Amino acid sequence: MNLRVFGDVDAFLDRTGSTLMAREAEASLLLGVALRLRDGHRYGDEAPFLACVEDSSGIAAIAARTPPHNLLLHVERATDAALECLAEHLTDVSEPPPGVHGERASAERFARVWSETTGCGHDVTMSQRLYRLTEVSFPFGVPGRFRLAESGDADRLVAWTEAFVNEAVGEGPHPDADALVERLLAGKALAVWEDGDAVSMASANRPTPNGIAINLVYTPPESRRRGYASACVATLSQRQLDAGKRFCTLFTDLANPTSNALYRRIGFRPVADFAEIRFVTA
């Protein structure tokens, strides 16, 4: 096994890009983060960790991390040797990852290897499902209209973003809601559904060559169960397809059957199950 660590995102993508593109939807989170790094975005003050593990057959695993966030893992061949090679390197860095995110079987296998290597325990903090949409089914009879968010919406959307993160993420590093909303507004990537007033929001973000992620879907409690989120996500997704994307992706929390059913009705179809796992210091 050979671990290659890249100090330059272009070199990382030159080596791993074709592997990630072969499973573009499944690798959309890791690939999207790498592409945003290439375009100059910074996720924090520390340099990102970008690596792959190679064996005689080629790339076995790909990993990326933007401290202080979890390690993102994409596995081609889930051998313990490849994961051990990665884990052993990460135990020697100044700030080991607080957890791992990847397709469920691979993430669980890496967490087991990490526990054996470090003595730490691990807990699954969220079981997720990745969905892909190629054709939209629009909900009927939802009052209101879709529009792109504007600068005048910023205060409301910052508050909604903070509420969304508290509901969806819970523990762990939270993004700067003001900076996130400012960036999404500047990129015309944030939309609202309006019924007299703004009642729901969604974002189209983290593009890959053929896809884009739908995220930051939030409706305040007093406006839920009226179809607003469905209508907002459906319209936003159609706009991405109309603009040339072949598919949209979206992660859901499997503990929330309501949202999973909502997205299936719009046209999102399951791709793979993922897990977010936290490492617990003994």
Per residue in 176-226, pLDDT tens?
A: 899 999 999 999 999 999 999 999 999 999 999 999 999 999 999 999 999
Q: Is the pLDDT reported for residue 80 higher than 80? A: yes
Cβ partners under 8 Å of residue 139, min gap 6: 227, 230, 231, 234, 265, 266
Would you state the pLDDT for residue 171? 63
Fold adopted by 2-129? Aminopeptidase (3.40.630)
Residue type (1 letter), 262: L
Paired with 127 in beta bridges are 275
Fold adopted by 136-266? Aminopeptidase (3.40.630)
Rounded average pLDDT over 109-117: 95
Residue type (1 letter), 96: P
Q: Do residues 203 and 181 touch, judged by C-beta distance below 8 A?
A: no
* Domain positions in the chain: 2-129, 136-266
111 to each of 213, 230, 255, how far by Cα in Å? 26, 35, 21
43: which 2 tokens? 């996720």
Q: Is the pLDDT reported for residue 157 higher than 90? A: yes
Q: Do residues 177 and 165 touch, judged by C-beta distance below 8 A?
A: yes
* Structure-token match 């051998």, residue found: 79
Paired with 62 in beta bridges are 52, 74
Percentage of residues in the chain with pLDDT exceeding 70?
Answer: 98
Q: Is the pLDDT reported for residue 167 higher than 90? A: no
Q: What's the CA angle centered on 127, arms 124 and 128, to 5 degrees?
A: 145
CA distance 205 to 181: 12
Q: Is the pLDDT reported for residue 62 higher than 70? A: yes
Indicate yes or no: pTM above 0.75: yes
Would you state the pLDDT for residue 41? 81
Cβ partners under 8 Å of residue 81, min gap 6: 1, 55
Residue 175 pLDDT level (bands cut at 50, 70, 90): confident
Mean pLDDT for all residues in the chain: 94
User: Which is it for strands 99-103 and 71-75: parallel, antiparallel or unpaired?
Assistant: parallel
Q: Do residues 273 and 127 touch, judged by C-beta distance below 8 A?
A: yes
Q: Do residues 148 and 191 touch, judged by C-beta distance below 8 A?
A: yes
